[in-house]
């Protein structure tokens, strides 16, 4: 039971050693703690981690953006207007002549006679009215139904475009591209981690369950996989993918290749936990109780480290996201027309591009925010994962 | 100790063997081989194919033979003659291509490891000894960010800042005016002036990681009973910290050499392209794109071997430093 | 310059030639308060502690865990870690000589306190292995102290360090000096730690549970050592322990602590023969004494109600009132108890039951004197065990664990945890299984419960139908029906209960697995079992984290008994518990045995507990049974020298018997079950070893009297002494 410092707690004769269990931020009645299952204790202890909580909220928001990308992005993935190559970001104005009203200013361009490059000016005299829930390109929401409303966009779909975060070389809207990229980048992390988790828990679990030579072999494999440099290997494997494969095939090939290597760390974790828990007296007690072996594994052993596994998974997702970004950046990962943060950043490779259009680096900011919040979240979860310290 | 070293070296052999098979398997994965690619290209362009030359190459590398025959031809040349094969794209022996670039990669890696140590050590110790201080929070935050930013982003930003505010690109390792020049003081200073950029870029993630490990280890050690026992003997605080917990907490500095080396070599492949460095990374990328199999295979093999050697060095250092490792596994 | 004596570094009494009278104390603690400022609130670990340490005397501080003993000790040297802080009180060092230093006011990192640490006050901790850094040789750490406080050179420090190691009884001190802590046994490490603490000839040694982590024979030798060293250098000792036997063995004065405060203080004789505070009285009554049992059978122990509250929830008034049977309603729970002096020897207690003259108040509800009548409750009747029908007959049971090493994890040898053991357990009896750590007793218990599959041997179990079956050879499916008849109570109250299951699920699991009861019937049976073991039936929905160690052990017992077993293996079932709670659990086990007609195999390292609960006792050493006999016979006169060694090593909680133990001189070597000595496994430590016969030939277990078996070549010709 927990009492905020300074606040006098009521006297009770609760024994030592039961106090620490899942201390919540505010006093939770003793009766409630006594009947609280593990997830509740984990949650109480996780809640006290401000940074981790914030990380968790941001993570959820990012995944929501990924799911609702079609609705949130002003434009579809394929929309572009090459007249507006490298158009700079526009400021969204909220007040129009003293009244509420959304609009952005239009552009004027000038061509450099020598380099033929366009230089852009915001034209304060032009007003492009912007609205909420406007009609635009059609998309499928949640993969279920087709809709054409967008959260924000120019009121006149046929009029001048809106580039809140600027445009790229072909006149794609960066904001829309980043939002669409969220789905791919974040799902690669998730799918890749689930794959490597399946591999890791199967092999690590086999290692821990059977022991003996199977354990020996799997351990050697894990040691080997952990000891080789991952990026050259990923590069080699990605380069081996046939050029004619479509975006979806490439996507899956990438996740499989990423997880082929990153399962090892998870596998080692699972095996270690397996061995640790197998030696606990409550597992022996289950044997004496006559509990069947599958039930011992699935009811007694596995649940006692699921929270650790979840924490480890959430810490593995950012590594996957970074790997995808890096591989796509050098052209070995995903490729256009697939849009991911890495693919977007590939266009920002040249220092000249960055000089003329620094907003091309904005997908990098998305990467940083996503990785940072996942790391905070995972870190807090790992700390809260074992509420039974005594 | 000798027994420990011998044993540790012996363990490497199967690892190296599996690595070589794997490297070779990877470059064999794409359908066809470099020659078929060349032939196809030449036919498209309407050029002529020198069948005699093709046949000679085929025979030398056992192309068309089974996987193991080809593997044996490749690995035996490497092991017995240090012949890494022929780069089809460059039309030169691979070993000739590697020389300078490999030296630069290794030199940069060593500089970066030193940089990581120099930065991580004081910060890690400070953070642990002043746990929950403002400085600790600040460094922890910076560490989190350091781990979250892809290193090519740091490279891009540094390049951009250099170009924007100093009017020059900090990429490359020598300025153009020294490119062909012989080594002199001017060139050395110039190289040092360029060197810090890749070192910082490569080292950020490793530094952030090592600070975290060092801090956590030191915090664990500070709570150990032998620290209280030493304090109860009247040891001054500073001497006590340096002699007891810090000594144990230093282990990650050596145990992570292999891991840091792996991440550096990975970073090399990606960052050097942005920074325009003549290291092995961009060469590997190009070789992979062009299906230049012997060059690519050799590069993958060499990076893996470098990491294995790094791990060996770190294990030996650990054995030398930590009597538990030396005496328990040394018998 | 530095004359280095070969025997003792200094035989000069502490305090030099101007030794003052005894009434001038060396250390005086007044009203010490050490609090911990945690996120969950302030924990008042020490709250108004008083302690006076006279020169050259041994003060024992006793109390159950969580009473603030260790924190008091650490506060003296300013060694309390954050978030703990001394918030009040004085710690006067040498108050008689000139300007006394208040250690509590010194800068914890300052030079003054550092000069006293290790120089004037030495300290020894509970975990000897952990108090030495594994990165340096023990000699390095020893020499460091000498060089720091005495300014010796490296060579001088080495020379004196080796002398010190010899002084604390370590063989081959030159080699030990250059060894690392992980190459030595716990007992050797503790000798090294003592050598370091005494290296600068301190006037005071603070020993914080220095023998708790050690085996009983090693404990006895460390206590002997401390007494010898004290005789030589005249130091004072503050000895912190929870073991009243150890107190009786070593103390001059005793301070009993409860919840961060003194409950009672007095000379060791006063505390043991005329305890005043109800807490002291209850503590003394709750320990099983090895003298009571001669033939009379098992009495009940007097347990203390409930458990020590967390310091955060300190009861108001007298902190003990929640557990005190003599508490005066309206007084004890509201007012702080007064300090009462008894007699002239400094015997005092904080208790409401006495008036200022030390007499019991007339208003006190119940005379708190030790009364045998209230202790001896009517004993539960149980049928006497029948020797002719063993429920379990173990023959040649062997459990070898492979030792693997090297690259390919090849088997390099075997740990002979259990080596050809024969054992009989009669229906209805309690068989005690004792031995030091690593002797294989736990492994034997686990083999019988078939948690482990033995390497060889038979385990014949006689079922209710009289049929005998060999459990060792059964596969898990055939084993299933015996699983409900042979049950285990586990040792660790924390790890033995799955924290993710409710009590209903934990205790109901064997019913579910054996398809004994389903649904609401299962719940009813669990609820009934809970009330049988003294827990409330409505706890069925709670998780284990809501319970204390003692309550968890009750849950453990409920799980074992829910299948109505016939044989219960209790594996160190009370070892992790404090004395007062231990007594509750032991009483419960005795009651349940009568109620359910149980047979116990009681595995424990604690000889007094085994003596209290067992009908017969089997002693193990290095995987083998060395002696087996009826409890009273064995404790009165053992036949095996190892059994004698164990008996004589157990500290008896009676200061009058001090010094009568006459310890056999047994070296504290490392026992290595992977590499047992040839011949009799005990011959390397045996004080009665005679000739090569002992070194060469393994003695077989054979009959050496009515119902007793011994594995010793010379059992008949030895006259060994048991417990007095």
Sequential DSSP letters for C221-264: HHHHHHHHHHHHH--EEEEEES-HHHHHHH-SEEEEEETTEEEE
The answer to whether C507 and C529 are in contact (CB under 8 A) is yes
3-state secondary structure of B315: helix
Cβ neighbours of B235 in C, within 8 Å = 114, 118, 144, 148
Over 60: is that where the pLDDT of A4 sits? no
Cβ–Cβ below 8 Å for B234 and C149: yes
Query: Would residue B263 count as lying in a domain?
Result: yes
- Tens of pLDDT, residues C149-202: 998 999 999 999 999 999 888 888 999 999 999 888 888 899 999 999 999 999
| B31 part of contact set with chain C, CB < 8 Å | no
Q: What mean pLDDT is reported for chain B?
A: 81
Query: Would residue A143 count as lying in a domain?
Result: yes
Cβ–Cβ below 8 Å for C549 and A300: no
Single pTM value for the model = 0.83
Query: Would residue A121 count as lying in a domain?
Result: yes
Nearest by CB to residue B233, choosing from C74, C117, C180, is: C117
Cβ neighbours of C131 in B, within 8 Å = 225-226, 228-229
Whether residues B162 and B280 share a domain: the answer is yes
Q: Print the domain residue range for B53.
A: 2-94
Lowest mean pLDDT among A46-55, B8-17, C383-392, C646-655: C383-392
Lowest mean pLDDT among B58-62, B303-307, C170-174, C327-331: B58-62
Over 90: is that where the pLDDT of C140 sits? yes
Per DSSP (E only), the strands in C128-283 are 204-208, 236-241, 253-258, 261-267
Whether residues A185 and A219 share a domain: the answer is yes
Domain at C23-109+241-290+300-361, CATH class: alpha beta
pLDDT of residue C2: 43
Cβ–Cβ below 8 Å for B153 and A367: yes
Query: Would residue A73 count as lying in a domain?
Result: no
Q: Chain C: list its partners (3+ Cβ pairs within 8 Å).
A: A, B
Which of C36, C476, C495 is the mutation pick for testing A, counting most A CBs within 10 A? C495
Per DSSP (E only), the strands in C537-612 are 567-571, 599-603
Span B217-236, average pLDDT? 90
Q: SS3 sequence, B220-275?
A: HHHCCHHHHHHHHCCCCHHHHHHHCHHHHHCHHHHHCHHHHHHHHHHHHHHHHHHH
Nearest by CB to residue B226, choosing from C133, C145, C197, is: C133
pLDDT of residue C395: 93
Whether residues A196 and A294 share a domain: the answer is yes
Whether residues A29 and A108 share a domain: the answer is no
Q: What is the pairing mode between strands C253-258 and C84-93?
A: unpaired
Cβ–Cβ below 8 Å for B233 and C118: yes
Mind telling me how many Å the CA of B300 is from chain A's nearest CA? Answer: 6
Number of domains in chain B: 2
Over 80: is that where the pLDDT of A107 sits? no
Query: Would residue B318 count as lying in a domain?
Result: yes
Cβ–Cβ below 8 Å for C135 and B10: no
Residue linked to tokens 């699972």: A270
pLDDT of residue C503: 92
Which of A289, A298, A306 is the mutation pick for testing C, counting most C CBs within 10 A? A289
Nearest by CB to residue C131, choosing from B10, B225, B323, is: B225
pLDDT of residue A257: 86
pLDDT of residue B62: 67
> Any idea how long chain B is?
331
pLDDT of residue B61: 66
3-state secondary structure of A68: coil
Number of domains in chain A: 3
Q: What is the DSSP letter of B124?
A: H
Whether residues B109 and B197 share a domain: the answer is yes
Cβ neighbours of C490 in A, within 8 Å = 281, 284-285
Over 60: is that where the pLDDT of C1 sits? no
Over 70: is that where the pLDDT of C660 sits? no
Query: Would residue A168 count as lying in a domain?
Result: no
Who's near A252: CB < 8 A, 6+ residues apart? none
Who's near B69: CB < 8 A, 6+ residues apart? B62
- Tens of pLDDT, residues C196-242: 999 999 999 999 999 888 888 888 888 989 999 999 989 999 999 99
Quickly state the pLDDT bin for A153 (edges 50, 70, 90): confident
Q: What CATH number did the domain enclosing B130 receive?
A: 1.10.3720.10
Cβ neighbours of C562 in A, within 8 Å = none
Span C495-519, average pLDDT? 91
B140 → chain A, closest CA residue? A376
Who's near C296: CB < 8 A, 6+ residues apart? none
Whether residues A158 and A273 share a domain: the answer is no
Whether residues B79 and B106 share a domain: the answer is no
Cβ neighbours of A17 in C, within 8 Å = 494, 548-549
Nearest by CB to residue A351, choosing from B27, B159, B258, is: B159
Whether residues A151 and A272 share a domain: the answer is no
Cβ–Cβ below 8 Å for B235 and C180: no
Whether residues A370 and A243 share a domain: the answer is yes
Query: Would residue A76 count as lying in a domain?
Result: no
Taking the C-alpha atoms of residue C622 and residue A35, their distance in angstroms, rounded to an integer, is 45
Q: What mean pLDDT is reported for chain A?
A: 79
Phi and psi angles of residue C170, each rounded to the nearest 5 degrees, phi first: -90, 130
Whether residues A259 and A194 share a domain: the answer is yes
Over 80: is that where the pLDDT of A32 sits? no
Burial (CB count within 10 angstroms: exposed 0-12, middle 13-18, buried 19+), residue A293? exposed
- Point out the domain boundary residue: B69, B94, B119: B94
Cβ neighbours of C41 in A, within 8 Å = 2-7, 9
| A13 part of contact set with chain C, CB < 8 Å | yes
Taking the C-alpha atoms of residue A211 and residue C304, their distance in angstroms, rounded to an integer, is 46
pLDDT of residue C555: 94
Whether residues B278 and B138 share a domain: the answer is yes
- Point out the domain boundary residue: B94, B117, B141: B94
Who's near C710: CB < 8 A, 6+ residues apart? C626, C627, C628, C629, C639, C640, C701, C702, C704
ipTM of the complex as predicted: 0.83
| A276 part of contact set with chain C, CB < 8 Å | no
Helix axes A230-239, B280-289, angle to 10 degrees: 20
3-state secondary structure of C394: strand
Who's near B50: CB < 8 A, 6+ residues apart? none
Cβ–Cβ below 8 Å for C118 and B234: yes
Per DSSP (E only), the strands in chain B are 86-87, 92-93
Cα–Cα nearest to B35, from B67, B11, B12, B58: B58
Q: Chain B: list its partners (3+ Cβ pairs within 8 Å).
A: A, C
Span A200-214, average pLDDT? 80
pLDDT higher for C246 or B38? C246
Cβ–Cβ below 8 Å for A330 and B171: no
| A223 part of contact set with chain C, CB < 8 Å | no
Which of C76, C110, C131 is the mutation pick for testing B, counting most B CBs within 10 A? C131
Over 60: is that where the pLDDT of C10 sits? no
Over 70: is that where the pLDDT of C417 sits? yes
Over 90: is that where the pLDDT of A307 sits? no
Nearest by CB to residue B265, choosing from A232, A318, A355, is: A232
pLDDT of residue C671: 65
- Point out the domain boundary residue: B36, B63, B94: B94
Within a 10 A sphere around the Cβ of B213, how many other Cβ atoms? 18
Whether residues B117 and B89 share a domain: the answer is no
pLDDT of residue C724: 60
Burial (CB count within 10 angstroms: exposed 0-12, middle 13-18, buried 19+), residue C10? middle
Over 80: is that where the pLDDT of B189 sits? no
C315 → chain A, closest CA residue? A11
Mind telling me how many Å the CA of A351 is from chain B's nearest CA? Answer: 6
A242 → chain B, closest CA residue? B30
Within a 10 A sphere around the Cβ of A176, how many other Cβ atoms? 28
The answer to whether B283 and B219 are in contact (CB under 8 A) is no
pLDDT of residue C289: 72
Over 60: is that where the pLDDT of A283 sits? yes
- Tens of pLDDT, residues C619-629: 999 899 999 99
Q: How far is the first Cα of chain A from the last one, in angstroms, to the nearest whole number?
A: 14
Query: Would residue B297 count as lying in a domain?
Result: no
Burial C652-673 (b: 16+ CB within 10 A, else e): bbbbeeeeebeebebebeebeb
Whether residues B11 and B67 share a domain: the answer is yes
Residue linked to tokens 């990423």: A258
C450 → chain A, closest CA residue? A288
Lowest mean pLDDT among A349-353, B101-105, C451-455, C653-657: A349-353
| B223 part of contact set with chain C, CB < 8 Å | yes
Which two three-digit tokens encode residue C344? 């002239």
Cβ–Cβ below 8 Å for A290 and C322: no
Taking the C-alpha atoms of residue C278 and residue C284, their distance in angstroms, rounded to an integer, is 10
Cβ–Cβ below 8 Å for B247 and C135: yes
C206 → chain B, closest CA residue? B232
Query: Would residue B298 count as lying in a domain?
Result: no
| B235 part of contact set with chain C, CB < 8 Å | yes
Taking the C-alpha atoms of residue A144 and residue B235, their distance in angstroms, rounded to an integer, is 71
Whether residues B68 and B160 share a domain: the answer is no
pLDDT higher for C356 or B1? C356
pLDDT of residue C664: 63
Cβ–Cβ below 8 Å for A233 and B29: no
Query: Number of residue pairs across A and C with CB atoms under 8 Å?
Result: 144
| A364 part of contact set with chain B, CB < 8 Å | yes
Q: What mean pLDDT is reported for chain C?
A: 85
Per DSSP (E only), the strands in C306-463 are 339-342, 347-350, 386-405, 410-427, 430-434, 456-462
Q: Is the dihedral of CA C458, C459, C463, C466 positive or negative?
A: positive
Q: Is the dihedral of CA A223, A226, A232, A234 positive or negative?
A: positive
Within a 10 A sphere around the Cβ of B127, how many other Cβ atoms? 25
Rounded (to 5) percent helix, strand, coil in chain C:
30, 25, 45
Whether residues A111 and A201 share a domain: the answer is no
The residue ranges of every structural domain in chain C are 23-109+241-290+300-361
Whether residues B262 and B132 share a domain: the answer is yes
Whether residues B242 and B160 share a domain: the answer is yes
Q: Print the domain residue range for A117.
A: 90-162
Which two three-digit tokens encode residue C165? 């190691």
Taking the C-alpha atoms of residue B143 and residue B136, their distance in angstroms, rounded to an integer, is 10
Cβ neighbours of B266 in A, within 8 Å = 229-232
Taking the C-alpha atoms of residue A370 and residue A349, their distance in angstroms, rounded to an integer, is 21
Q: How far is the first Cα of chain C from the last one, in angstroms, to the nearest whole number?
A: 50
Over 50: is that where the pLDDT of B128 sits? yes
- Tens of pLDDT, residues C564-621: 999 999 999 998 888 888 898 999 999 999 999 999 999 999 998 999 999 999 999 9
Whether residues B114 and B141 share a domain: the answer is yes
Q: What CATH number did the domain enclosing A314 receive?
A: 1.10.3720.10
Whether residues A138 and A199 share a domain: the answer is no
Span B66-93, average pLDDT? 81
pLDDT higher for C660 or A284? A284
| B248 part of contact set with chain C, CB < 8 Å | yes
Over 60: is that where the pLDDT of A10 sits? no
Cβ–Cβ below 8 Å for A232 and B157: no
Cβ–Cβ below 8 Å for C141 and B230: yes
Nearest-10 Cα torsion for C7, C9, C12, C14: -130
Verify cis geometry, omega within 30 degrees of 0, for the bond prior to B280.
Answer: no
Cβ–Cβ below 8 Å for B234 and C148: yes
pLDDT of residue C530: 93
B 298-327 residues with CB below 8 A of A? Answer: 299-300, 303-304, 306-308, 311
Cβ–Cβ below 8 Å for A364 and B307: no
Query: Would residue A312 count as lying in a domain?
Result: yes
Whole-angstrom Cα Rg for chain C: 27
| A282 part of contact set with chain C, CB < 8 Å | yes
Lowest mean pLDDT among B31-40, C156-165, C502-511: B31-40
The answer to whether C239 and C207 are in contact (CB under 8 A) is yes
Query: Would residue B20 count as lying in a domain?
Result: yes
């Amino acid at each position: 039971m927990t009492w905020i410092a300074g606040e006098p707690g009521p006297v009770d004769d609760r024994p030592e050693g039961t106090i620490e269990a899942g201390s919540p931020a505010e006093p939770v009645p003793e009766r409630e703690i006594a009947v609280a299952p593990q997830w509740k204790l984990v949650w109480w202890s996780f809640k006290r981690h401000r940074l981790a909580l914030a990380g968790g909220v941001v993570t959820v928001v990012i995944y929501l953006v990924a799911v609702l990308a079609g609705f949130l992005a002003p434009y579809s993935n394929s929309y572009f207007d090459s007249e507006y190559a490298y158009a700079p970001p526009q400021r969204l104005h909220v007040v129009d002549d003293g009244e509420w009203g959304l609009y952005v200013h239009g552009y004027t361009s000038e061509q450099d006679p020598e380099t033929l490059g366009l230089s852009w000016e915001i034209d304060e005299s032009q007003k492009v009215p912007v609205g909420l829930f406007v009609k635009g390109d059609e998309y499928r929401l949640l993969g279920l139904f087709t809709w054409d409303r967008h959260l924000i966009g120019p009121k006149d779909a046929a009029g001048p475009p809106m580039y809140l975060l600027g445009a790229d070389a072909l006149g794609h809207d960066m904001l829309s591209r980043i939002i669409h990229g969220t789905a791919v980048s974040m799902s690669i992390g998730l799918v890749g981690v689930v794959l490597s988790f399946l591999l890791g828990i199967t092999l690590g679990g086999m290692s821990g369950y059977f022991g003996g030579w199977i354990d020996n072999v799997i351990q050697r494999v894990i040691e080997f996989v952990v000891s080789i440099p991952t990026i050259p290997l990923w590069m080699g494997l990605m380069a081996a993918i046939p050029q004619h494969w479509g975006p979806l095939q490439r996507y899956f090939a990438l996740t499989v290749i990423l997880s082929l290597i990153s399962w090892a760390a998870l596998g080692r974790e699972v095996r270690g936990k397996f061995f640790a828990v197998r030696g606990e007296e409550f597992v022996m007690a289950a044997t004496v109780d006559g509990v069947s072996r599958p039930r011992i594994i699935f009811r007694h052993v596995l649940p006692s480290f699921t929270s650790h596994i979840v924490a480890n998974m959430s810490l593995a997702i950012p590594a996957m996201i970074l790997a995808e970004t890096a591989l796509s950046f050098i052209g070995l990962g995903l490729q256009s027309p697939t849009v991911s943060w890495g693919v977007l950043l590939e266009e920002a490779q040249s220092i000249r591009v960055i000089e003329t259009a620094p907003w091309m680096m904005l997908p990098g900011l998305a990467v940083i925010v996503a990785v940072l919040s996942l790391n905070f979240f995972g870190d807090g979860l790992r700390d809260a994962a074992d509420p039974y310290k005594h | 100790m000798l027994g420990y070293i011998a044993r540790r070296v012996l363990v490497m052999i199967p690892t190296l063997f599996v690595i070589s098979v794997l490297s070779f398997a990877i470059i064999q994965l794409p359908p066809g081989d470099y020659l078929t690619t060349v032939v196809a290209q030449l036919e498209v362009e309407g050029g002529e194919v020198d069948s005699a030359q093709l046949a000679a190459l085929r025979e030398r590398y056992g192309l068309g033979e089974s996987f193991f025959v080809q593997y044996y031809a490749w690995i035996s040349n490497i092991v017995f003659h240090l012949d890494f094969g022929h780069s089809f794209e460059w039309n030169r022996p691979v070993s000739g291509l590697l020389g300078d670039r490999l030296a630069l990669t290794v030199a940069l890696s060593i500089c970066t490891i030193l940089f990581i140590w120099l930065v991580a050590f004081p910060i890690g110790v400070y953070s642990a000894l002043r746990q929950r201080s403002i400085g600790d929070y600040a460094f922890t935050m910076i560490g989190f960010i350091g781990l979250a930013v892809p290193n090519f982003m740091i490279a891009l930003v540094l390049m951009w800042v250099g170009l924007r505010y100093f009017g020059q690109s900090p990429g490359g390792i020598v300025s153009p005016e020294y490119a062909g020049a012989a080594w002199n003081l001017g060139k050395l200073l110039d190289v040092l002036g360029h060197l810090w950029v890749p070192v910082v870029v490569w080292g950020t993630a490793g530094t952030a990681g090592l600070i975290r490990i060092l801090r956590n280890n030191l915090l664990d050690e500070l709570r150990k009973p032998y620290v209280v026992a030493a304090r109860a003997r009247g040891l001054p605080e500073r001497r006590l910290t340096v002699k007891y917990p810090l000594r144990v907490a230093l282990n990650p500095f050596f145990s992570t050499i292999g891991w840091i080396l792996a991440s550096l070599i990975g970073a090399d492949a990606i960052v050097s392209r942005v920074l325009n460095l003549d290291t092995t990374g961009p060469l590997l990328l190009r070789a992979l794109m062009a299906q230049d199999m012997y060059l690519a295979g050799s590069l993958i093999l060499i990076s893996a071997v470098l990491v294995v050697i790094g791990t060996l060095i770190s294990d030996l250092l650990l054995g030398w430093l930590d009597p538990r490792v030396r005496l328990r596994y040394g018998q | 310059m530095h004359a280095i004596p070969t025997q003792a570094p200094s035989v000069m009494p502490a305090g030099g030639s101007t030794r003052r009278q005894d009434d001038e104390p060396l250390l005086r603690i007044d009203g010490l308060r050490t609090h911990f400022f945690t996120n969950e609130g302030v924990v008042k670990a020490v709250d108004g502690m008083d302690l006076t340490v006279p020169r050259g005397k041994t003060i024992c501080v006793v109390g159950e865990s969580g009473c603030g003993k260790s924190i008091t000790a650490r506060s003296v040297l300013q060694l309390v870690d954050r978030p703990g802080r001394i918030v009040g009180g004085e710690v006067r060092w040498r108050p008689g000589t000139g300007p006394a230093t208040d250690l509590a006011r010194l800068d914890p990192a300052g030079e003054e306190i550092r000069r006293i640490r290790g120089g004037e006050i030495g300290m020894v901790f509970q975990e000897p292995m952990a108090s030495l850094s594994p990165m340096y040789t023990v000699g390095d750490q020893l020499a460091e102290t000498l060089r720091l406080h005495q300014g010796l050179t490296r060579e001088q420090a080495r020379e004196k360090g080796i002398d010190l190691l010899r002084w604390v009884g370590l063989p081959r001190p030159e080699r030990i000096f250059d060894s690392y802590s992980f190459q030595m046994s716990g007992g050797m490490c503790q000798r090294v730690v003592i050598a370091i603490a005494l290296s600068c000839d301190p006037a005071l040694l603070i020993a914080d549970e220095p023998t708790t982590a050690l085996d009983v024979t090693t404990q006895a030798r460390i206590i002997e050592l401390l007494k010898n060293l004290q005789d030589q250098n005249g130091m004072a000792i503050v000895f912190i322990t929870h073991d009243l036997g150890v107190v009786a063995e070593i103390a001059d004065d005793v301070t009993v602590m409860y919840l961060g405060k003194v409950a009672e203080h007095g000379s060791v004789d006063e505390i043991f023969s005329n305890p005043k505070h109800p807490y002291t009285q209850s503590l003394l009554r709750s320990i099983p004494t090895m003298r009571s049992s001669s033939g009379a059978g098992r009495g009940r122990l007097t347990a203390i109600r409930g458990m020590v509250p967390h310091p955060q929830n300190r009861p108001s008034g007298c902190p003990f009132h929640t557990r005190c049977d003599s508490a005066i309603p309206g007084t004890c729970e509201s007012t702080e108890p007064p300090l009462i002096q008894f007699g002239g020897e400094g015997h005092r207690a904080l208790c409401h039951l006495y008036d200022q003259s030390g007499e019991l108040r007339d208003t006190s509800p119940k005379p708190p004197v030790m009364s045998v009548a209230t202790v001896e409750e009517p004993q539960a009747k149980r049928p006497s065990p029948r020797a002719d029908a063993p429920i379990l007959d173990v023959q040649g049971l062997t459990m070898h664990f492979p030792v693997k090493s090297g690259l390919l994890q090849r088997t390099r040898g075997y740990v002979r945890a259990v080596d050809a053991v024969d054992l009989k357990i009669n229906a209805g009896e309690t068989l005690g299984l004792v031995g030091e750590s690593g002797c294989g007793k736990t492994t034997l218990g686990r083999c019988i419960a078939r948690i482990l599959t033995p390497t060889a041997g038979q385990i014949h179990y006689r079922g209710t139908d009289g049929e005998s079956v060999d459990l060792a050879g059964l596969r898990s499916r055939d084993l299933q029906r015996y699983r409900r008849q042979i049950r285990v109570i586990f040792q660790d109250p924390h790890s033995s209960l799955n924290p993710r299951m409710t009590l209903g699920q934990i205790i109901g699991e064997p019913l579910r697995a054996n398809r004994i009861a389903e649904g609401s019937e299962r719940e009813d049976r669990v609820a009934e079992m809970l009330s049988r073991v003294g827990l409330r039936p409505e706890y069925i929905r709670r998780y284990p984290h809501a319970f204390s160690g003692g309550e968890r052990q009750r849950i453990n017992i409920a799980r074992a008994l829910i299948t109505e077993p016939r044989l219960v293996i209790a594996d160190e079932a009370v070892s992790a518990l404090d004395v007062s709670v231990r007594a509750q659990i032991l009483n419960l086990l005795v009651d349940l045995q009568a109620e359910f007609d149980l047979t116990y195999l009681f595995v424990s390292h604690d000889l007094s507990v085994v003596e209290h609960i067992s009908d017969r006792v089997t002693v193990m050493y290095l995987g083998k049974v060395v002696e087996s006999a009826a409890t009273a016979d064995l404790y009165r006169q053992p036949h095996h020298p190892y059994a004698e060694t164990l008996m004589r090593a157990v500290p008896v909680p009676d200061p009058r018997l001090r010094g009568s133990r006459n310890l056999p001189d047994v070296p504290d070597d490392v026992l290595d079950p992977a590499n047992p000595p040839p011949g009799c496994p005990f011959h390397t430590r045996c004080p009665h070893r005679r000739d090569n016969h002992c070194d060469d030939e393994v003695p077989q277990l054979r009959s050496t009297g009515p119902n007793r078996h011994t594995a010793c070549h010379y059992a008949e010709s030895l006259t060994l002494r048991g417990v007095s």
